[in-house]
Structure 1
Amino acid sequence: MSRTDHMDVAAYALGVLDAQDAERFEEHLATCWACAAELETMVPVVGMLSGIDGESMAALEQTHTDPALLDRTLGAVRRDRRRTRVRQLLATAAAVVVFGGLSGVAAGFLGGDPPATPQAEPTQSVPTAAPSSAPADPNDPNIGGNEQEGDQHNATDPGTGVKTTMWLAKKEYGTQISLQLNRLPGPRTCRLLVVRKNATSEVVGTWSVPGSGYGTNQNPLGLELTASTSAPLGDIAKVQVQSVDVNGVASPLVTVADL
């Protein structure tokens, strides 16, 4: 390309080049990162010109500038599409500048050893259990992605028939208790009682059972609850689900004592 091509940046930014010259300059701009960088620096000037009306520019123009060039410049700054055009030019210029920078990096690779890339330290993977080949038990409460945290304990009361599965998990604040109840008839009021090894006890939850119950023929869905106690896991002797009558008298429904 000729030196003239490198001197058309300002005229192109102002939009005063005719269609043929503009097309020729755009072809040059696609491969010349120097012109692209210069074009980017002219954006503030073009932005200021876009806010000046033609009459003001004519009044300020006191030189012997070519009248044809002045008329074309005034027409360019009047066009509302100037801002959009500048954004497009910026995108083109940025692409050329980036391409030029990448070309320099590529040349460095071809001319010698590539720069060392920091390598991440290897991390230890958590072992995963191998899938079991045994068929899944549909009555297992963990089936269906509902695996609970803690040690699992199952119990069924021979007298009431109430069935429970509990999970006790050690926590910094004490113990978390998650449980599922089935074959629990209603209506009734229930509570969850934690009995410590020193014979003290604590009620950690209460709830109401509707007439259809939970896990029954009328309502096949079991009841799921979560409660917490300040008692450490090692201090718990048993966890019991109790039924409370209208007089406040409690009777056991099912007990987990194998802790």
Structure 2
Amino acid sequence: MSRADHMDVAAYALGVLDEHDTERFEEHLATCWACAAELETMVPVVGLLSGIDGETMTALEQTQTDPALLDRTLVAVRAHRRRTRFRQVLATAAAVVVFGGLTGVGFANIVEDSAPPNVVAEPTSGPTGPAVPRSTGPDGPGVGGDKGLPEGKQHDEVDATTGVEATFFVARKDFGTNVNFILAKLPGPRTCRLVVVRDNNTSEVLSTWSVPGGGYGTNTNATKLTLSAATATPTGQIKHFQVQSVDVNGVASPLVTIPID
């Protein structure tokens, strides 16, 4: 960029550049923090001149006044006509001054200080999300007593044949039915699944999971297994839930059945 471009600051501030020179200077201003800083210092002067009425200047132009004074007033009129555009560009100029003089540390501080305080991202959930199995200890959140139970009606069952213990919390929802369940005395290794059986004897697999060799809620591993699932089937149309064991050939056998009254 030529030296002349750096000398156009005053002319630009007062609005005396033609359209072509104005566009050229604004392109230069976007990358030159020195010109931007100089332009910023002219704000008070331009602000004073912008308050002069244009009609008064026209009247003065038609009189035989001091040529120097006439020139100054005409410049003020042009500045008045252009002050809106000047203010928009001045915002860009100020940004160039700030960012041109910042160090990496200073910039990092500005970014950090601009963040809104105490903003914490919260997890979201919905009926369409897959059921995510999770393991908790017997005294974990949502398991018994004063720590609070999952929502829904509680159903407790112990299978007389397998010995598997199940506690189900079944909740009616607009989307169908939500179920949280806890399993214990569940030996492994094995693959299991949860099936919902409807009143019309149709069924649907809601969730599948693997049981490690130590099992859950056993002498080897005292930790009970806590899982969640959902179905579009209304609660009133559910006959029972059933936890099944599935062998390598895909053949399922019941481990515990939970009737829904």
Question: How does the TM-score come out when normalised to structure 2?
Answer: 0.46
The structure with higher relative contact order (CA 8 Å, sep 6+) is 2
Larger Rg: 1
Question: How does the TM-score come out when normalised to structure 1?
Answer: 0.46
